[in-house]
Structure 1
Amino acid sequence: MRRYPIFSRILHWALAALVFWQIGIVTAYKIAGSSPFLDKMASLGPSHGMVGLIVLPLALLRLVRPPAASNRAARLVHHTLRVLLVAIPALALLRAYGSGKGWVHRGLTIVPETGEEVAWMVKLGNIAHGELAWVMIALIGLHIAGAVMHGFRRDVTLHRRA
């Protein structure tokens, strides 16, 4: 059995951990709202924006190597996930730029302040960022279901990624 290269495996699981952090924190806030406990939990990891900023270059690296998938449906899911992992944080950056307010994190300017709002950038980011995240969550579910199916089949697919 030939395993995926170590770099590919680390990248896969790092992105998985970051995306699950995003999903977990955002879902908790949507369900429970802000609370001292949830705020403390969220403070233990990177902020939503910083996770997106970390995901973007890692996802771009994933685009270098085509996904190994067993059939057309799996290839479609993999390719779409890879595109969404780039598009979703890119849309957030577009929205931040378009707001004109910029984005400064701990003294580091991520997006410069322009002072001028670009309405279409804000609107596109507001509409697409969250909606595409829901699409990505559904695709992650399909991805996990496929992995479980490979586990039940006892083929080598899961072992190659682990």
Structure 2
Amino acid sequence: MIQWRDTPQRYGAISRALHWGMAALLLWQFVGMGLRVMLGRTPLVSFFVGSHTTVGFTLAVLIMLRGIWALMNLRNRPPHGAGLLGFAAWAGHLALYLLMAVVPGFALLRAWGQERAFAPYGIEIFPPREAPVSWAVEAGHMFHGELAWVLGALILGHIVMVAVHTGLWRDGTFARMAGRRG
């Protein structure tokens, strides 16, 4: 039987699907932007970057759903642990969640302020404007990419800590996210 909700022993199917689905989409985004930085404009880069807005919008929706789901399961989720390490894990996860919300938030702010319509999946979210809202566009330009790289660094730290928990401490942390008993 599928365990949909989180328990103190492991994350449920919905938390795992949101986590791993978002991980795949974030990887897509970072690979595309990394290639853009390294290679400039090429057909390969265009293949990745051409979907950046739509994938980013999808991530914005998923982070909202993930945040709501996490709050609904807050008392049932596996604990971060005690002491300084537990606090560090809690703070790291909070920073990840905040940046996963703020980074697309700045992209949406920029899209709202631009002259052209914003219509991921062909669904118009923001209509075209007669004139740009310069403060919104500038804030989006200034913070979206920079904070995305900070998010990328936090994600790498998250992955490193999974490796430490799995390989060094062998405490079952990864097993809980994979849905197995820790």
The normalised TM-score by structure 2 is 0.80
- Kindly state the Cα deviation for residue 39 of structure 1 after the two structures are TM-superposed: 3.2
- Contact 2:54 / 2:121 at 8 angstroms: preserved in 1? no
What residue identity is the alignment partner of 1:62? R
- Contact 1:93 / 1:111 at 8 angstroms: preserved in 2? no
- Kindly state the Cα deviation for residue 161 of structure 1 after the two structures are TM-superposed: 0.4
- Kindly state the Cα deviation for residue 38 of structure 1 after the two structures are TM-superposed: 3.8
Q: Which residue of 2 aligns with 1:14?
A: 21
Matched, 1:69 2:80: yes
Map 1:41-80 → 2, pairs under 5 A: 42=48, 47-64=51-68, 65=70, 66=74, 68-70=79-81, 71-80=86-95
Between 28-37 and 63-72, report the one with greater CA deviation: 63-72
Structure 2 gaps of 5+ residues are: 1-7
- Kindly state the Cα deviation for residue 37 of structure 1 after the two structures are TM-superposed: 3.8
The normalised TM-score by structure 1 is 0.89
Q: Identical aligned pairs, as a percentage?
A: 36
Between 49-58 and 104-113, report the one with greater CA deviation: 104-113
Which portions of structure 1, spanning 4 or more consecutive aligned residues, are displaced by more than 3 angstroms?
Answer: 37-40, 104-108
Q: Which residue of 2 aligns with 1:159?
A: 175
What residue identity is the alignment partner of 2:132? E
Count of aligned pairs between the two proteins: 159
* Cα shift readout 1:32-91 (whole Å, capped 9, x = no counterpart): 112234434x28xx7000111000111112223147423111111111111111111121
Change (3 A) 1:138 1:97: same
- Contact 2:107 / 2:144 at 8 angstroms: preserved in 1? yes
Task: Pick the aligned partner of 2:161 from 140, 143, 146.
Answer: 146
- Contact 1:62 / 1:82 at 8 angstroms: preserved in 2? no
Change (3 A) 1:37 1:101: closer
RMSD of equivalent CA atoms: 2.0
- Contact 1:4 / 1:160 at 8 angstroms: preserved in 2? yes
- Contact 2:10 / 2:177 at 8 angstroms: preserved in 1? yes
- Kindly state the Cα deviation for residue 157 of structure 1 after the two structures are TM-superposed: 0.8
Matched, 1:39 2:46: yes
- Kindly state the Cα deviation for residue 6 of structure 1 after the two structures are TM-superposed: 0.6
Structure with more of its chain in strand, by fraction: 1
Q: C-alpha distance in 2, partners of 1:110/1:33?
A: 29
